[in-house]
A = this chain, B = another copy of it.
């Protein structure tokens, strides 16, 4: 069902105002992983609640408990839930989004201040942290609500909303809330929900809208190597002591090959090779190696073959090295021997891989490799978080409705762990309806 013309006209004639609303949201640096920005996450939640209220949505801020971060105990940002429409004859759709963002600094390579949205009129693109992940898609729903509200058009469905402020930091607290409410059945916050729609991922390229019916899982590790009691001067101690960085770099070098093959024994166990009809899907998708390289901003595709690249990002596991905590990471030249260094890496998982099993395999492998190093340093492995991979039924009416409005279906590489929480707890179909393009530069 196409949108009514007056709805489309409303959107077209309000573009500057709608863009300003996104800029207002981007300007609140709601970084959930940074304790010093926690007030901004609270502020962003309140801002969002006020917006929803304006368009007739009844809201509630749900406390989700506390967390320990950087040596402090902080209140988790409340989930903002809302409802509009109570017609038993209509379908009830639950919308999910998150209003927190990843950290961002100009020194990361931004051309403009990431928290002051820059609208490039020439290309029509908007630059700013959260424009696509995930404030932009939330604004998409606000735009829908505002149009219906202003024009006096009745919403064709009952809508429920669940927006969280901890998605970039493991969705702390949300699973418990969803689980508890789901157990209450029709008396809970999600009572009567017929299906879920999540807009927190991306098209495959920059021209073809896509639907997503699969997500890779995640396991994230921090392997800590320690030696001296404090950072040492390499002029004084260099050569005379075992250095934690030397051991950590050796360990991190044993995880994955340059072309992405994971070296942890047993990690590929049970993953089925693609059948010929699955290969056909990849072959037919509107996508090219050039699309990938354009969105990556560099000629770095793992292969010149389209299907190989698509399978690498969608249906195969991967391992990325993210960085090192505790070593010298500033500009310039510091001649330090760091005392304790933590190597951060994560694996993207696909069925039938399970985080707990992969975790055991990673730990066993790292311990064996560390023993071989024969260093006097010590190692500790921290498991930071995990999420299992997910696949949905793309024949469901929820997907068919979305398909009628868009064009393609895909399986996607990224992890949105809450997808699975909704699917398991509510027992309804979950649709991933990306609003962002493949070259949006989400992290």
Contacts and interface: CB of A to CB of B under 8 A. Distances in A.
Contacts of A300: 227-228, 241-242, 376-377
Contact of A323 (B245, B252, B302): B245
Nearest to A35: B331
Interface in A226-284: 226-243, 245-247, 249-250, 252-253, 256-260
Interface residues of A, number: 102
A218 B335 CA distance: 10
A89 interface: no
A327 B413 CA distance: 21
A318 interface: yes
A50 interface: no
30 contacts: A33-B331, A109-B339, A227-B296, A227-B300, A229-B298, A231-B441, A232-B441, A235-B414, A237-B292, A238-B348, A239-B260, A239-B302, A239-B318, A240-B260, A241-B298, A241-B302, A242-B300, A245-B321, A245-B323, A246-B257, A250-B253, A322-B328, A322-B333, A322-B337, A323-B334, A323-B336, A323-B341, A325-B328, A325-B329, A335-B346
A412 interface: yes
Contacts of A124: none
A320 interface: yes
A77 interface: no
Number of identical monomers bound together in the oligomeric complex: 2
A340 interface: yes
Interface string A202-236: 10000000000000101010100011111111111
Contact of A238 (B242, B338, B413): B413
A415 interface: yes
Interface stretch (A58-66, A181-189, A308-316, A425-433): A308-316
A103 interface: yes
Nearest to A204: B236
B322 A109 contact: no
Interface of A: 33-34, 69-70, 102-103, 108-110, 133, 169-170, 202, 216, 218, 220, 222, 226-243, 245-247, 249-250, 252-253, 256-260, 292, 296-302, 309, 312-313, 316-341, 344, 346, 348, 373-377, 384-385, 412-415, 438, 441-443
A58 B365 CA distance: 65
Contacts of A170: 333
The 4 closest A-B pairs by CB, nearest first: A229-B297, A235-B414, A239-B318, A323-B327
A443 B297 contact: no
Contacts of A346: 234, 333, 335
A366 to B, nearest CB: 14
Nearest to A227: B300
B332 A413 contact: no
A236 B412 contact: yes
A7 to B, nearest CB: 31
Contacts of A376: 298-301
Contacts of A301: 240-242, 376
Given A229-B298, A328-B344, A330-B33, A238 B320 contact: yes
